[in-house]
Amino acid sequence: MAQLVEIAIAPLTRPLHTEFVTALRRTGFVYSIAVRLTDSDGVVGWGEAPQIWRVTGESLASIEACVLGPLADALLGLELDDAAGIAAILDGAVAGNTGARAACEIAAHDLVARRNAQSLAQSLGATVTEVTTDVTMAAATAPGAVDVAPAGFTEVKVKVGLDPDDIDRVIRIHQNSAVPLSIRVDANQAWDVSTATTAVTAWLAAGVDLGFLEQPLPAWDLAGLAELRRRIPTPIVVDESVFSIHDLRRTIDAAAADIVNIKLAKCGGLRPGLAMAELAKSAGLGVMVGSMMESELGVSAAASLAAVIGPEQTHDLDAAWWSIDPATDPEGPYRGPKFRLWAEPGLSVAANRIGADLGAWTARQVLEP
Ligand SMILES: [Mg+2]
């Protein structure tokens, strides 16, 4: 049986075509760490851990130290014929560091999928070859922010929470659309119950097709979210409130959400994401898969999960779109709102595509006996 013999990391930096602004952050680049596992037969598996100071608290330096330290200690020398148990091993190696753990867990799944000559999505049981995504519209304060949805998308997610004009801006985006437009709104924790109630009431009165309201209140405020749910008819999505399956259970117990946004960098990988989707569905909650600001490597892993837990619905997988121009990149994953799941083994196509954006590799290897 093949053994994990090397774990390596490299910085991954990509410019965005449009600056990304939310109530939590502003960036013109993807800043990630790529993780590569290699087994004793030379088969590799890749994962991506994005720097997300304001959500997971992880930085490029912390991800590097975590992956090459305790996570490498836990992984090197393992015999890997199945990646199902990897998340628990990584969870036992460090507290927090969910993005670093997710990158290693995804890399293990990628490696096993490549050994089995399956795409990552197929290896998880998916049967579809593409998933649908919304596209995010940056907050009104972003340079060049417009009140028109990007062409080709019929579902947008508007970032609010920074600007008193947010309520009117969403109405303008609705009115300016030439096609029926479903609008999702994400306040990234910036509001209180009364601000959120006022906004939703105004949007519904203006005829906005409001898909959902995401994380309107601070992550810790489950009681406030439950109160808001009693006041408005619009579904509430939890994002920053729910990292782990334990957070999800508390959210369900508090009746604080209608839908959970599952992100690999929050929950620690594909298996934890699958388990959370199962719990959410059994409790009557909707599930959506989201991503952080990351490249098509990380988004392909998230889309593979989405293809299993919600093949028919619209997810939140536009992160890589911000660094890819579909018009000049016909081999890329985006065709309007469709994100393509490559049929090649594992995440190999996505890993090849990011090669030019990688810095130098730093590796740890299993000690010789
Ligand atoms: Mg969000």
The CATH number covering residue 62 comes to 3.30.390.10
C-alpha of residue 251 to centroid of ligand 1, in Å: 16
322 Cβ neighbours under 8 A, 6+ residues apart? 16, 17, 18, 20, 30, 293
Whether residues 170 and 234 share a domain: the answer is yes
Return d(Cα 32, Cα 286) in angstroms, integer.
29
Whether residues 324 and 355 share a domain: the answer is no
Return d(Cα 184, Cα 159) in angstroms, integer.
9
In 105-216, where do the E strands start and end?
A: 130-133, 135-137, 155-159, 182-186, 209-214
Task: Check the CA dihedral 245-246-250-251 and report its sign.
Answer: negative
88 Cβ neighbours under 8 A, 6+ residues apart? none
C-alpha of residue 266 to centroid of ligand 1, in Å: 11
Whether residues 93 and 128 share a domain: the answer is no
C-alpha of residue 85 to centroid of ligand 1, in Å: 28
- Decide if 281 is catalytic: no
Whether residues 104 and 189 share a domain: the answer is no
Whether residues 130 and 268 share a domain: the answer is yes
C-alpha of residue 107 to centroid of ligand 1, in Å: 24
- Decide if 159 is catalytic: yes
C-alpha of residue 162 to centroid of ligand 1, in Å: 14
In the chain, where do the E strands start and end?
A: 4-21, 26-39, 44-50, 130-133, 135-137, 155-159, 182-186, 209-214, 236-238, 259-263, 286-290, 314-315, 334-335, 338-340, 362-365
Residue 239 phi, psi (nearest 5): -125, -80
Tens digits of pLDDT across the chain (369 residues)? 799 999 999 999 999 988 888 878 888 999 999 999 999 999 999 999 999 998 999 999 999 999 999 999 999 999 998 999 999 999 999 999 999 999 999 999 999 999 999 999 999 999 999 999 999 998 877 777 889 998 889 999 999 998 889 999 999 999 999 999 999 999 999 999 999 999 999 999 999 999 999 999 999 999 999 999 999 999 999 999 999 999 999 999 999 999 999 999 999 999 999 999 999 999 999 999 999 999 999 999 999 999 999 999 999 999 999 999 888 898 999 999 999 999 999 999 999 999 999 999 999 999 755
Return d(Cα 155, Cα 180) in angstroms, integer.
9
Residue with tokens 């304060």: 141
Whether residues 105 and 216 share a domain: the answer is no
C-alpha of residue 316 to centroid of ligand 1, in Å: 9
Whether residues 105 and 162 share a domain: the answer is no
Return d(Cα 260, Cα 240) in angstroms, integer.
10
CATH of the domain at 217: 3.20.20.120
31 C-beta neighbours (distance < 10 Å), count: 18
Expressed as residue numbers, the domain containing 131 is 124-347
Whether residue 356 contacts residue 122, with contact meaning beta carbons closer than 8 Å, is answered with no
C-alpha of residue 231 to centroid of ligand 1, in Å: 21
C-alpha of residue 240 to centroid of ligand 1, in Å: 7
Catalytic residue among 159, 266, 281, 338: 159
Whether residue 47 contacts residue 104, with contact meaning beta carbons closer than 8 Å, is answered with yes
Q: Cα dist. 170→123, 259, 285 in Å?
A: 40, 21, 26
Domain count, the chain: 2
Whether residues 261 and 338 share a domain: the answer is yes
Whether residues 132 and 176 share a domain: the answer is yes
For residue 240, which amino acid is it? E
C-alpha of residue 216 to centroid of ligand 1, in Å: 9
Whether residues 233 and 310 share a domain: the answer is yes
What 3 state SS string does 257-290 have? CCEEEEEHHHHCCHHHHHHHHHHHHHCCCEEEEE
C-alpha of residue 346 to centroid of ligand 1, in Å: 27
Whether residues 133 and 264 share a domain: the answer is yes
Helices (H), strands (E): how many in the chain?
13, 15
C-alpha of residue 61 to centroid of ligand 1, in Å: 24
- DSSP annotation of 129 reads S
368 C-beta neighbours (distance < 10 Å), count: 4
Q: How far apart are the first and last CA of the chain?
A: 17
Whether residues 316 and 274 share a domain: the answer is yes
**b/e map 40-74, b = 16+ CB within 10 Å:** eeebbbbbbbbbbeebbebebebbbebbbebbbeb
Whether residue 24 contacts residue 54, with contact meaning beta carbons closer than 8 Å, is answered with yes
| Adjacency order of strands within the sheet including 236-238 | 135-137, 155-159, 182-186, 209-214, 236-238, 259-263, 286-290
Q: Cα dist. 20→49, 135, 300, 319, 337 in Å?
A: 18, 12, 20, 10, 18
Catalytic residue among 263, 266, 281, 338: 263
Number of residues that this document lists for the chain: 369
